Amino acid sequence: MSAPPAREYFAVVIAAPSGAGKRTVLERVRARESEIAWAVSATTRPPRPGETEGKDYYFLSRAAFEEGVAAGRFVEWAEVHGNLYGTLKSEIDRCRETEKDVLLELDVQGMRSLRRLGHDVVGVFIVPPSMEELERRLRGRGTDSEDVIALRLQNARAEMAARGEFDYIVVNDVVDRAAEDVIAILRAERLRARRQRLSG
Ligand code: 5GP
């Protein structure tokens, strides 16, 4: 897909170190926010309990994912925690057909790729109140092995270091407050885009 003209729409990228509670916050946002199209990523990670194909992710085998990469079907992709994750061009097209702005849950690499491609990106980074709290949440989830937790913690530290690349930082201390913050950001950005359309 070629880069869209500036300000035709914006792509909100929501990133967070794993364990920051991004999923919980975004579930609350999703329940109250209908004016944005949610892009579903593809991944080679196996589904966690309760995750559904086509809603949480498109779950692909590594072979199918790699074939998609070779065929140029991804806008961006990255290896995170030993699994492949990416955004299919067809998914962005599907979202754009709704004529809404698009929300993507990516990591910092994904945000950089979208920016490089010329998409008008609004970056939102959700952070835990502290690194200690992050570790506690990762262990409490009970879905990952010690090795995976150690890897996720190491990645979290690296991801936290990239927070300066985001336009907004939302602290997930109280989930409802964090969800309110994300909704406020979406609203403000929509108004800003409208102003630019009106004055452009
Ligand atoms: P999880 O396995 O916990 O669902 O996600 C692990 C990480 O992969 C998260 O940081 C998440 O934001 C990132 N991720 C999910 N989808 C994509 C994607 O399409 N592209 C990229 N670059 N990262 C993604």
* Mean of all residue pLDDT scores within the chain: 90
Mutate to test the pocket of ligand 1, among 79, 107, 134 (most ligand atoms within 8 A of CB): 107
Query: Does residue 5 sit within a domain?
Result: no
Rounded to an integer, the average pLDDT of 129-150 is: 86
Query: Does residue 186 sit within a domain?
Result: yes
Query: Does residue 4 sit within a domain?
Result: no
Which CATH number fits the domain that encloses residue 155? 3.40.50.300
Query: Does residue 153 sit within a domain?
Result: yes
Range of the domain at 194: 11-199
Rounded to an integer, the average pLDDT of 55-59 is: 95
> Number of folded domains in the chain?
1
Query: Does residue 21 sit within a domain?
Result: yes
Query: Does residue 24 sit within a domain?
Result: yes
Distance (Å, whole) CA 128 – CA 161 = 14
If pLDDT is split at 50, 70 and 90, which confidence band does 194 have? Answer: confident
Rounded to an integer, the average pLDDT of 101-118 is: 92
If pLDDT is split at 50, 70 and 90, which confidence band does 4 have? Answer: very low
Q: Which of 97-111, 122-136, 142-156 has the lowest mean pLDDT?
A: 142-156
Query: Does residue 3 sit within a domain?
Result: no
In order, the DSSP letters of 31-93 are: HH--SEEEPPPEESSPPPTT--BTTTBEE--HHHHHHHHHTT-EEEEEEETTEEEEEEHHHHH
Ligand 1 atom with the shortest distance to the CA of 22: 12
> CA distances (Å), 31 to each of 109, 133, 169, 180, in order?
27, 26, 21, 12
Distance (Å, whole) CA 161 – CA 59 = 29
State in Å: Cα 200 to ligand 1 middle.
35
110 C-beta closer than 6 A to ligand 1: yes
Query: Does residue 172 sit within a domain?
Result: yes
